[in-house]
Structure 1
Amino acid sequence: MEYNAFFPPHDGMRLRDIADRLGAELSDQTAGDRMVRSIAPVYRAKSDQLCYILSRKNREELLTCEAAAIICDSALSSLVPAHIPVLIAKNAHTVFAQAGALLHASAMKPSAIIEQGSDISAAAHIDPSAMLEAGVVVEPLAVIGANVHIGAGTRIGPGAIIGADVQIGRDCTIAGGASILSALIGNGVIIHNGARIGQDGFGYAPGPRGMIKIVQVGRVIIQDHVEIGANTTIDRGTMDDTVIGEGTKIDNQVQIGHNVRIGRHCGIVSKVGIAGSTRIGDGVMIGGASGINGHITIGDGAQIAAMSGVVADVPAGAKYGGVPARPLRHFLRDMAELLARAEERDKKTGEKNV
């Protein structure tokens, strides 16, 4: 594949400089002046591209690799062909992520229509009472309501809606089509296209003629360096706040209910649904398409397997999976027993798996 016009290559960085920036050890110092412009997968990397390996599974792909260098652990360096320098790192995955950010800085945030630092678009609507620090970019058709505060270096994408009294910190990116209401947002936050922040929570009480809507007067608090994926929705609190902790990363199409509190540096994958008033600790990882019951607690460092149904509290550090979710070893044992029973039944009936 040729270079991608959407994310053009870097003008060039010396391999030696990349190694220094990443804290990696360059195996061949004579290759330090090689210029690197991009990243690529192992099987098609060219002489100005950087790639990485994490296991011996890449052995065959290395035969066609022409990369400027390969990032890997010292234990795997012997697999790399002699003509390719190695950047030796203890955590190759993390170092490669850092290298990608160096070489493709524009891909780290949603793309812009107008360049950072450009004037505010004449096609945007900004209430006269809104306060925007120097360096804020507002793209066409964005709407910024009364008494909004936006910090320096933040970009508001095309068609985004920022409701009255919302506060957004510095160096944030609010991508096109996102809407933010009743929210306080920290610094360095990225909110992707179409995300919905701060709308009503789902709350009703039974009445004589059907459900009666419960007023939702809380806020959404998003702390520093959070990233929220496209079309994710985060409801404001009923009376208290919905809180997303510092450094947490949320994938696309996640639903977070009212009064949920999520800790710091969590990872929540696509299609997860979290019901109201759930408490999630720091460093929790939740696999895709999992459902989390309301009014429960998931402890610090817990891991939830994909497509799980969590109906009760999860202890700190635990690994849970299945429906209903239970300790992962129990779930795997249960699945193995079911499979064994099915195979035994098929033997007795003469049925064959197709």
Structure 2
Amino acid sequence: MEHNWFFPPHEGIRLGDLAVALGAELADAAHADRVVRNVSPVSRAKEGDLCYILSRKMRAELETSEATAILCDAALASLVPSHIAVLLSKRPHTAFAIAGAMLHPAAMRPGVTTSDSTGISPAAFVDPAARLEAGVVVEPMAVIGKGAEIGEGTRIGPGVIIGADVRIGRNCTIAAGATLQCALVGNEVIIHPGARIGQDGFGYAPGLKPGMIKIVQIGRVIIQDHVEIGSNTTIDRGTMDDTVIGEGTKIDNQVQVGHNVRIGRHCGIVSGVGIAGSTRIGDGVMIGGASGINGHITIGDGVQIAAMSGVVGDIPPGERYGGIPARPMRDFLRDVAEMALRSSARDKKKGSKDD
């Protein structure tokens, strides 16, 4: 791949220093003064690149790799050619994530769009009744509404609309084209381009004549600290209660979170998930891509839901579910195996008749 000017190499970190920062161990102390500047997949790594491996499937790619260093578990260290330094870690994936943030800090948040990345752009509109702490950056064409409050170190990207009385904490990034209304946002929150936060939820009552009557939505969206929300994700405000996204939760692109949903701390929700209104999701829940979650149900702490599942009822804490309708993973896998056997038997029967 050609040189990436979007995320240029770091000026360099010694492997000895990197090992200390990661809580890793250099397999050979003589490699302590080698320097890494970039992260790369094993297959195309060059001098100065840091890579990681998690399984023996990488053996063939390692043989031709020109990486400076590899992060891996001690059980895989023997696979690494002698010319490549080895950083030993019990959690190499986690260590690599930390190293990547050190080598490419600018890639950890949506980037600055304009050359002037300080202060309030003259091409932005900030209502006189809004209150911005020192160090807030507002890029061109952004609109900050009446009574909005934004904390120190937060950056508002181009074309962002912050509604009246919205509160945003410190060191947040609200990227291009996002809109926030009726929302309270904590510290260190990242909201990616095009996200829609705080619009009214989907609620209607049967009309006296054919048709539906809109139900008023007067709740809020509360986003706690260290949350990340992906591009074009929508989070509706509550009807009369609040929609809540718990601390440390990460939400992928194009996710729909309905009104009154409460998501716990440190959850992971992958692209294409739809969560219907008034669902309660516990802490540490992982939901695979394109899954649909029924409304007014409870998903317990630590639950894992496979991709493309349809969850129609409560799930107890710690369970692993999959399928449509979602059921315990052992039942889902058994059903899949039985269907495969039946399909194979039908094909064999059909083949014998053809003969």
Give the Å deviation of 1:30: 1.7
Contact 1:174/1:190, CA 8 A, preserved across alignment = yes
SS in 1 for 2:340: helix
Give the Å deviation of 1:116: 8.3
Match of 1:15 in 2: 15
Report whether the alignment pairs 1:278 with 2:279.
Answer: yes
Residue-by-residue CA offset, 1:145-202 (whole Å, 9 max, x unaligned): 0011100000000000000000000000000000000000000000000000000100
Contact 1:139/1:156, CA 8 A, preserved across alignment = yes
Give the Å deviation of 1:126: 0.2
> Partner letter of residue 108 of structure 1?
M
Structure 2 CA distance for partners of 1:16 and 1:237, relative to 1, 3 Å: same
Match of 1:29 in 2: 29
Contact 1:275/1:293, CA 8 A, preserved across alignment = yes
Give the Å deviation of 1:2: 2.7
Give the Å deviation of 1:119: 2.2
For residues 351 and 138 of structure 1, the distance between their equivalents in structure 2, rounded to whole angstroms, comes to 72
For residues 318 and 178 of structure 2, the distance between their equivalents in structure 1, rounded to whole angstroms, comes to 34
Report whether the alignment pairs 1:307 with 2:308.
Answer: yes
1:93-112 residue pairs with structure 2 within 5 A?
A: 93-112=93-112
Report whether the alignment pairs 1:217 with 2:210.
Answer: no
1:89-238 residue pairs with structure 2 within 5 A?
A: 89-114=89-114, 118-209=118-209, 210-238=211-239
For residues 108 and 3 of structure 2, the distance between their equivalents in structure 1, rounded to whole angstroms, comes to 17
Contact 2:38/2:49, CA 8 A, preserved across alignment = yes
> Partner letter of residue 54 of structure 1?
L
> Partner letter of residue 102 of structure 2?
L
Give the Å deviation of 1:301: 0.1
Give the Å deviation of 1:34: 1.4
For residues 85 and 126 of structure 1, the distance between their equivalents in structure 2, rounded to whole angstroms, comes to 52
Residue-by-residue CA offset, 1:206-231 (whole Å, 9 max, x unaligned): 01231000000000000000000000
For residues 120 and 260 of structure 1, the distance between their equivalents in structure 2, rounded to whole angstroms, comes to 35
Contact 1:229/1:253, CA 8 A, preserved across alignment = yes
For residues 8 and 352 of structure 2, the distance between their equivalents in structure 1, rounded to whole angstroms, comes to 56
Segments of structure 2 that go 5 or more residues without pairing to the other structure are none
Give the Å deviation of 1:117: 5.8
Give the Å deviation of 1:232: 0.2
For residues 90 and 318 of structure 2, the distance between their equivalents in structure 1, rounded to whole angstroms, comes to 24
Residue-by-residue CA offset, 1:312-337 (whole Å, 9 max, x unaligned): 00010000000000001101101111
For residues 117 and 31 of structure 2, the distance between their equivalents in structure 1, rounded to whole angstroms, comes to 37
SS in 2 for 1:59: helix
State the TM-score, normalized to the length of structure 2: 0.97
For residues 334 and 250 of structure 1, the distance between their equivalents in structure 2, rounded to whole angstroms, comes to 30
State the TM-score, normalized to the length of structure 1: 0.98
For residues 109 and 66 of structure 1, the distance between their equivalents in structure 2, rounded to whole angstroms, comes to 29
For residues 338 and 115 of structure 2, the distance between their equivalents in structure 1, rounded to whole angstroms, comes to 58
Report whether the alignment pairs 1:320 with 2:321.
Answer: yes
Contact 1:116/1:137, CA 8 A, preserved across alignment = no
For residues 2 and 35 of structure 1, the distance between their equivalents in structure 2, rounded to whole angstroms, comes to 21
> Partner letter of residue 285 of structure 2?
V
Give the Å deviation of 1:307: 0.2
Structure 2 CA distance for partners of 1:115 and 1:109, relative to 1, 3 Å: farther
Residue-by-residue CA offset, 1:70-96 (whole Å, 9 max, x unaligned): 000000001101111100000100000
Contact 2:117/2:139, CA 8 A, preserved across alignment = no
Which deviates further from its counterpart, 257-266 or 63-72?
Answer: 63-72
Contact 1:278/1:293, CA 8 A, preserved across alignment = yes
For residues 21 and 136 of structure 1, the distance between their equivalents in structure 2, rounded to whole angstroms, comes to 30
Give the Å deviation of 1:349: 1.9
Contact 2:276/2:295, CA 8 A, preserved across alignment = yes
Q: Percent identity?
A: 73
Give the Å deviation of 1:66: 1.3
Give the Å deviation of 1:14: 1.2
Which aligned segments of 4 or more residues in structure 1 are displaced greater than 2 angstroms?
A: 114-117
Match of 1:67 in 2: 67
**Superposition RMSD on alpha carbons, in Å?**
1.2
Contact 1:190/1:226, CA 8 A, preserved across alignment = yes
For residues 338 and 20 of structure 1, the distance between their equivalents in structure 2, rounded to whole angstroms, comes to 52
For residues 116 and 226 of structure 2, the distance between their equivalents in structure 1, rounded to whole angstroms, comes to 19
Structure 2 CA distance for partners of 1:279 and 1:136, relative to 1, 3 Å: same
For residues 297 and 96 of structure 1, the distance between their equivalents in structure 2, rounded to whole angstroms, comes to 35
